[in-house]
Amino acid sequence: MTILVTGGAGFIGGNFIYYERKHHPEDSIICLDSLTYAGNLSTLSPILDQPNFRFVKLDIRDRAGVYQLFEAERPDIVVNFAAESHVDRSIESPEIFLQTNILGTQVLMDACRKYGVQRFHQVSTDEVYGDLPLDRPDLFFTEETPLHTSSPYSASKAAADLLVMAYHRTYGLPATISRCSNNYGPYQFPEKLIPLMIANALNDKPLPVYGQGLNVRDWLYVEDHCKAIDLILQKGRAGAIYNIGGHNEMKNIDIVKLICKELGKPESLITYVADRKGHDMRYAIDPAKIHRELGWLPETGFSDGIVKTIGWYLDHRSWWEPIVTGEYRNYYKRMYGGR
């Protein structure tokens, strides 16, 4: 089996490649990634020279390049992680989100139709459902919840989901979609809440909490997400959508305080800053379908996962320190300077 993983130099794609290597060592993996600011080839350096692994620097919007790769490698399965993934950046510059997340997905699906695949899997997000109110803890996102997006990022992911379902119905593309809640774990780019707070706390820098920090996210350890996608590839029904989440809702402020505690840093580092525009209040996934149909359950609870994650950032400074000292500093100034 040959699996084409797009966006594999990013956070979840990289973790997925290691998951597949461990659980299906007989499979060949090709990683296609254009190495945007969020892609980091050092994540994959331990396996770059392995015989059944190939890295290809390519943009999913490059139709000719993508067709050439499919012609040469004839992948059996395509898993699309490649995306612009950060909400704040989408508020600043929406266009690249539409190009990569929608048109890039279309190019990949056209290649799948032209060359034939057993499965095209689209890695989507719970953000396509919009948000839930804080005073209705009884409400959860199911696969039937209407799409109701808030940010240019989530709108681009919802558009891609609709296109995937259209390709399934119109052309019979054997496609599946997963919509996962917030991930955390090793190799996450330090612009996202948890790694940003860990990196800032370790450098005794202010911890910028948006608004009052009362927004709720439903956190899942990244390996549990990878396991769910692997199950969907093996046992999921073509045309099906699966929500993925571990019923682990937490307020942002509680996460930041926990990180301070684990690192022995004072809460006085916490700085409340201007809120994100259109900020979603609460995400909460109902994972009943993937549990019922595929037997998926998360394995890592938040208390273990966050300790493992903090430990990973402590042990892998050489992975993230070059990021926070490089071009990222300009982004940080732009994003947080005037808040």
Which residues of this chain interact with ligand NAD, rule CB under 6 A?
A: 6-7, 9-13, 33-36, 38-39, 59-61, 81-85, 100, 104, 123, 125, 157, 180, 182-183, 189
Choosing among ligand NAD, ligand DAU, none, which partner's interface includes residue 123 (Cβ < 5 to 8 Å by kind)?
Answer: ligand NAD
- Running DSSP on this structure, what letter comes out for residue 68? H
CA distance 259 to 194: 8
CA distance 218 to 301: 12
Number of residues near ligand DAU (by CB under 6 A): 19
18 Cβ contact partners less than 8 Å away, ≥ 6 residues apart: 47
Q: Give the residue among 107, 5, 112, 101 at the shortest CA–CA distance from 56.
A: 5
For position 328 contacting ligand DAU by CB under 6 A, the verdict is no
Residues from 262 through 291 that contact ligand DAU (CB under 6 A): 276, 283
- Running DSSP on this structure, what letter comes out for residue 101? I
Q: Which two tokens stand for residue 315?
A: 């042990």
Q: Three-class SS of residue 75?
A: coil
Q: Give the residue among 241, 314, 252 at the shortest CA–CA distance from 279.
A: 252
Q: How far is the CB of 81 from ligand NAD (least distance, A)?
A: 4
Binding mask 202-241 for ligand DAU (x = CB under 6 A): ------xxx----x-x------------------------
Choosing among ligand NAD, ligand DAU, none, which partner's interface includes residue 283 (Cβ < 5 to 8 Å by kind)?
Answer: ligand DAU
CA distance 244 to 237: 15
126 a catalytic residue: yes
153 a catalytic residue: yes
For ligand NAD, give the closer residue by CB, 61 or 265.
Answer: 61
Instruction: Please state, in angstroms and as integers, the Cα–Cα distance from residue 158 to each residue in 10, 80, 91, following that order.
Output: 20, 14, 16
Q: Which residue in the list 19, 129, 153, 184 is annotated as catalytic?
A: 153
Q: How far is the CB of 272 from ligand NAD (least distance, A)?
A: 23
Residues that are catalytic? 126-127, 153
Interacting residues toward ligand DAU by CB under 6 A: 85-87, 125-127, 181-182, 192-193, 196, 208-210, 215, 217, 252, 276, 283
